[in-house]
Structure 1
Amino acid sequence: MDYEILELGNVVLQNGATIRNGRLAYKTFGTLNAAKDNVIVYPTWYSGQHTDNEWLVGEGRALDPARQFIIIPKMLGNGLSSSPSNTPEPCNGPRFPKVTAYDNVRVQHRLVTEKFGIERIRLVTGWSMGGLQTFHWGAMYPSMVERIAPFCGSAKCSRHNFVFLEGVKAALTADAAFAGGWYKTKPETGLRAMARVYAGWGFSQAFYREQLDIKAMGYSSLEDFLVSFWEGLFLPRDANNLLAMLWTWQNGDISANELYGGDLKKALNAITAKAYVMPGITDLYFPPEDSEFEVANMPNASFVPIRSIWGHFAGGPGLNPEDVAFIDGKLKELLAS
């Protein structure tokens, strides 16, 4: 096992439900210095695990283990932290409690403070749902977080984004084998259908027009890409885990808590961290317009678009070297500021 577990005990969630004997999986890189001021928190994305984040960590990068102490906490529901797939009866499978991004960041805060005794965080960064958690860190713990850099993510799931995810969910759950979440065998047809729905959204129109699936990624045809990349991405995942994280995504909102009472502008204004908000200009479900609204309501934020035709995947997981270099360069710039 190349990761560690923080035993959380009973975790009472925002909605009043409880995860009993909760577990937060995490991985660290580098060494926490004596001053405990070299900390970077780097949450995972939808369906992603720590290995899917490691493309941004390495020698000479902004997230360099020789200089930084990098913590990758894994989302609740991702299969390694407490999830539908690993929680014992009766809260297993579709009975797993509904978890918000707020709940996720609250237990991550316990990891940072209780396990490591950290009081200041140099940077929180993340892609996609990792970006959602990054915004939450900035809004929930403004005095603790010095910098944030959410990329290809948002502070609140937009209505259009919600609808996109309804299509993903409908494709997965329409498989008769899904059986309301009580499947005996993997709902393979549903997972493959979900992947096909997702394929039209993850990359941009220009990406497909330029045939980058073939010319840049090396697939032999469009069908090969749809099967090998997209179906290959989701088939190894557990369906209930995917649905649990999808609910978390759809209900993502940094203001949906007792701190801000649903006032999104108030929550954004409370993020005092120096921020680089980095949307992909061709991202189909986290469009740059949403990021412009966020930046306009944050006191110390810059709008830093990723000028790429790789759509949402401009942000990860390390597929396009030019986008990787841009993101890494901006993280270095932010850390140096």
Structure 2
Amino acid sequence: MRPPVQPGWIDAPHGRLNLPRLVLESGEAIEDFELSYAVHGDIDDRSLPVIVALCAIGSSHHRLDFLIGEGRALDPGRARIFAIDAIGNGLSSSPSLSRRQPRLNFPRFTIRDMVNSQKLLMQHLGIETVDLVIGASMGGMQALQWAVSYPDIVRQVVAMTPMAKTTAWSGAVNHAARLALQSHAADPDICPDQLPNRWESWSAVMQLLGARTPQHIDRQFSGPDEIRRWLSDRTRLWLEQGFDPLDWIYQSFAYDGHDVGDTPGFRGDTIAALRSIWARTLIAIPPLDLYNPTEAGRWAARHIADCELVEVMSDSGHQVASATDPAAASELNRRIAAFLR
């Protein structure tokens, strides 16, 4: 079931890839695999370029809606845009959805498994070349993985607030957020009335302290009382989406373990993996990011042969690649459109 459409989201036709099983790089498999996606543009017009838009941790195919539309960077009148739901987001195959491998019986997956499943979707649709892969946060990490895994298919990449290899700091943020959720995730029937409190604790870590900067918070809120009201409202909105804590936890494990250097053939050499990228690449970062450190984006950009690094001057931190900061969203639309031209 799709979550209720929120302000700023774009409703679009949906599709679903169904496979008997998806073999993971661990050797385990997801049985009765399903991959959900939305399509913007004329899917039947083969003359239009193909864009693969990827979602962040805990998000859906709506994650990049701020870039989609007439006159924006991703114009459905000029491209076929496939916005794909990553494994574990509660719309594609996830621990909370599986009947044959429910909850903790669901196998662990990686970001490369997400990308491999997306490649299978393109293959299923008869698409041999992807003109652009774009994403923010975990979506940006998937975009770089696409360019490493399938260099002969991907022509251009836009990775916003990405990492090529997850930093210890990002893993610490994820772990703090997991601690807020894990007891409920293990057994949702224990104290179900505590779920709002657990999501509020998670929101304090992920959507407030990790996603913003001190300057942004001081500008947005007048004081602690207003922050508490905002957290309560955010928790209510999050509960309305129906996202399961265990799904987020599984995605966070994939996030923690990510390194493009672990792609087959590179033996853990992250630099060699980045140097193998053929695609024209744009990496966008803010001056300060308290989730995916900006230095991780700078470091990746230094090792990609044809890479433009864009620093978006915003104090919104990790939220820079979203509709949260209208000025930053406008700048990203402009810079990405210029890059694609």
Tell me the equivalent position of 1:328. 333
Question: Structure 1 length as normaliser, TM-score?
Answer: 0.91
Residue in structure 2 matching 1:229, options 213, 230, 234: 234
Within the alignment, does 1:195 sit opposite 2:200 as a pair? no
5 Å-filtered alignment, 1:138-287, equals 138-173=147-182, 175=183, 178=184, 180-183=186-189, 185=192, 187-198=195-206, 199-210=208-219, 212-213=220-221, 221-229=226-234, 232-233=237-238, 236-287=242-293
- Distance apart, 1:221 and its partner CA: 1.7
Moved more, 189-198 or 289-298: 189-198
In 2, Cα distance between equivalents of 1:8 and 1:157: 30
In 2, Cα distance between equivalents of 1:281 and 1:234: 32
Moved more, 290-299 or 280-289: 280-289
Within the alignment, does 1:31 sit opposite 2:37 as a pair? no
Is there any run of 5+ residues in structure 2 with no aligned partner, and where? 3-12
Residue in structure 2 matching 1:17, options 14, 17, 28: 28
Indicate how the Cα distance of structure 1 residues 253 and 36 shifts in structure 2: closer, same or farther if over 3 A, else same: farther
Q: Which amino acid aligns with 1:333?
A: A
Residue in structure 2 matching 1:293, options 291, 295, 299: 299
Within the alignment, does 1:105 sit opposite 2:105 as a pair? no
The secondary structure found in structure 2 opposite 1:41 is: strand
- Distance apart, 1:52 and its partner CA: 3.4
Contact 1:44 1:127 in 2 (8 A): yes
In 1, Cα distance between equivalents of 2:263 and 2:302: 22
Contact 1:6 1:24 in 2 (8 A): yes
Indicate how the Cα distance of structure 1 residues 214 and 113 shifts in structure 2: closer, same or farther if over 3 A, else same: farther
Q: Which amino acid aligns with 1:277?
A: I
In 1, Cα distance between equivalents of 2:239 and 2:304: 35
In 2, Cα distance between equivalents of 1:290 and 1:242: 23
Within the alignment, does 1:94 sit opposite 2:104 as a pair? yes
Q: Which amino acid aligns with 2:200?
A: R
Q: Which amino acid aligns with 1:31?
A: D
Number of aligned residue pairs: give it.
326
Deviations 1:33-58 (A, max 9, x none): 75555111101111111233322210
- Distance apart, 1:246 and its partner CA: 0.9
- Distance apart, 1:163 and its partner CA: 1.1
- Distance apart, 1:297 and its partner CA: 0.8
In 2, Cα distance between equivalents of 1:282 and 1:232: 27
In 1, Cα distance between equivalents of 2:127 and 2:231: 44
Query: How much is the aligned-residue C-alpha RMSD, in angstroms?
Result: 2.1
The secondary structure found in structure 2 opposite 1:302 is: strand
- Distance apart, 1:137 and its partner CA: 0.7
Tell me the equivalent position of 2:316. 310
In 1, Cα distance between equivalents of 2:336 and 2:211: 23
The secondary structure found in structure 1 opposite 2:296 is: helix
The secondary structure found in structure 1 opposite 2:62 is: helix
In 1, Cα distance between equivalents of 2:276 and 2:138: 20
Q: Which amino acid aligns with 1:323?
A: A
The secondary structure found in structure 2 opposite 1:160 is: helix
Tell me the equivalent position of 1:120. 129
Q: Which amino acid aligns with 1:223?
A: R
In 2, Cα distance between equivalents of 1:23 and 1:145: 23
Question: Structure 2 length as normaliser, TM-score?
Answer: 0.90
In 1, Cα distance between equivalents of 2:179 and 2:157: 34
Is there any run of 5+ residues in structure 1 with no aligned partner, and where? none
In 2, Cα distance between equivalents of 1:220 and 1:121: 48
The secondary structure found in structure 1 opposite 2:260 is: coil
Q: Which amino acid aligns with 1:147?
A: Q
